[in-house]
Structure formats: structure tokens, C-alpha cells
Amino acid sequence: MSDRAPVLYLSHGAPPLADHPHWPAELAAWAGELPHPTAILMISAHWEAAPITLGATTTVPLVYDFSGFPRHYYEVVYPAPGAPDLASKVRALLGGQVHDAPGRGLDHGAYVPLKEMYPAADVPVLQMSLPTLDPTELFAIGRTLAPLRDEGVLIVGSGFFTHNLRALTPDDEHVHAFTAEFDDWGARALAEGDLDSLLDFRHRAPAPHLAHPRTEHFAPLFVSLGAGADDLATLRTPVDGYWLGMARRSIQLG
């Protein structure tokens, strides 16, 4: 078996997704099938900063970047070790100007899924900002970061396969037609390895402006696709279905 780490894109949800009847177990089972990572590089929809910025390389408090939820969601902790060695490798690969944010902890796009996947918080984690929402540029960044996989680094893009908070439904069974159509289109494009269509989703996908009024939750997918471009033929979908009308599709490459 190759020691090369896979690449993930997952739909992370708001903190209450941790209370979903299936999602935590799905993530735990998925992590259990993966080779244990030497470190994790997280690219979350909830951190946009240019140029590329790296988060804390020591354990600092989490970023509770949400409001209006019950108190216990603000009491969650995830004291994963920092990853200064990984930060150095990311800087070396990217070259040019990479900023640091030593006081910025993991946001909920990072710690909510990681708490389900690696509850012991024993894997070093580094979060990297999205410097742009342009799919082609993000894909190129992913390609540049791909060598990290050979050192056992798990690269994770964390977003949501569809994300329209004005079109939520009362439960997981009711789904707007535009969400189902976008999810089906994306599933087929991924299965066919149709990168051209995915990168140009704003023009080729059905109702993209309804599925993603703003594209920050789809953007991490392109970093993941870039990092895993050599493994499109191995693509699998460990998680799918819907949550309050949004598609939870999550993929693995490699």
C-alpha cells in the first residue's frame, strides 16, 4: 500500500451538524478507513485572506465564528497540536509571500469535522486561508501543495457542496429542485473526472447562483481537486445526502 495520503473535500456544516443522527458516525467511519496522517492541512470556507495566510503553529483557542447558537457550542474545545514543520513546508512549496496569523485558531470549518474524525486531537493541524475564490487559481494552489501527500499530510478542503442559507428546509427530506439538480450535476462531473466543467461551474452547472449565492463553500473543492488531480479515477463519495436542504456530498481522492 502506498504511503501517499489521500485528499478530502468535506461538507462541514454549522456546529449543530455535530448533532446530526448520521453525520458524526459517517465521519468517524471515514477517518477510520484512512491512513493515519502525519499532519492535516485544512482549507476552510470560513477563512478568506490574501495573500495566503497560515494560522497558528501552536495550540491557541478556537475561533467561534458563528452567532445565535446555544452556549454549549461555544464551549467546544479541540486542542490539536500546531504544525510548525508543515507550515515551513507549505511556505517552501508556495514560494513568494506567505503571511502568518499566529493568534488565529481553527475555525468551525476545521474543528467541527476534525472533532468527529480525530476526537483525540492528537494530529498536528495547520489551517491555510483561501486567497481567492477563483477555481483555476485554487486548483493551481492544490497542485503545488500535492507533494505534501507523499509525507503523509492529509489535505482537507472544508466547505459545503451546496450552500444557500436562504433556502434551508425544515428537515433532511425536503430538498429544493435546484439543490438536487446541482448535486446530481456535481456528482456526475466528479465521477467523469470532468475538471473543465467543474472549474467552469458558474457557467455549466444548473442554477449555480441558487446553489451557491456566494462560492466560498464550493471553493475549497478546487484546492482538493488540484492536490488530488492524479487520483481522479479513484474518487469515492463516503458521505452524501442532505442536511436542511443542503447537499452534504463529500469526496476522497487517493
Distance from C-alpha of 39 to C-alpha of 186, rounded to nearest angstrom: 29
Euclidean distance between CA atoms 59 and 156, whole angstroms: 19
The whole-number pLDDT of residue 14 equals 81
Q: Look up cell 495573500; give the residue.
A: 51
% residues pLDDT > 70 (the chain): 99
pLDDT band at 67 (very low <50, low <70, confident <90, very high): confident
Neighbours of 65 (CB within 10 A): 12
Which domains does the chain carry? 7-253 (3.40.830.10)
Q: What is the mean pLDDT of the chain?
A: 96
Cis peptide before 15, with omega less than 30 degrees from 0?
Answer: no
Return the C-alpha cell found at 183: 448535486
Among 220, 221, 169, smallest CA distance to 190 is for: 221
Whether residue 63 contacts residue 104, with contact meaning beta carbons closer than 8 Å, is answered with yes
Task: Give the pLDDT of residue 1.
Answer: 37
Q: Is the pLDDT of residue 204 over 90?
A: yes
